[in-house]
Amino acid sequence: MTSTPTFLVTGAGGHLGRRVVDLLLAAKAGKVIAATRDPAKLADLAAKGAETRRADFDDPVSLDAAFRGVDRLLIISTDAVGVPGKRLSQHKAAVEAAACARVGHVVYTSMPNPEPGSLIPFAPDHYETEQGLAKSGLSHTILRVSWYAENLLRSLPSILATGKWRSSAGEGRVANIARDDVARAAAAALIKAPRGRFDLTGPELLTTRQIAAIVAAVFAKQVEVVPVSDEQLLAGLVAAGVPKPLAELGVAFDANTRAGKVDIVSDAVAKLTGKPPTPLRDILAANKSALAP
Domains of the chain with CATH codes: 6-145 (3.40.50.720), 147-178+202-263+278-293 (3.90.25.10)
- End-to-end CA distance of the chain, in Å? 52
Query: Per-residue confidence at 1, pLDDT binned at 50, 70, 90?
Result: very low
The amino acid at residue 21 is V
Of residues 191, 195, 153, the one with CA closest to residue 281: 153
Share of the chain above pLDDT 70, in %: 99
Q: CA–CA separation, 247 vs 107, rounded Å?
A: 31
pLDDT greater than 90 at residue 84: no
What is the spatial distance between Cα 217 and Cα 101, in angstroms, rounded to a whole number?
52
Name the strand (E) or helix (H) holding 80: none
Q: Are 205 and 265 in contact (CB under 8 A)?
A: yes
Mean pLDDT of the region 57-65 = 95
Query: What would the pLDDT profile of 16-57 be if each residue is shown by its tens digit?
Result: 999 999 999 999 999 999 999 999 999 999 999 999 999 999
Q: What would the pLDDT profile of 167-178 be if each residue is shown by its tens digit?
A: 999 999 999 999
Mean pLDDT of 81-97: 91
Mean pLDDT taken over the chain: 95
Q: For residue 267, how many C-alpha atoms fall within 13 Å in the half-sphere facing its CB?
A: 2
Return the pLDDT at 293.
Answer: 55
DSSP state for residue 78 in the 8-state scheme: P
The SS3 call for residue 168 is coil
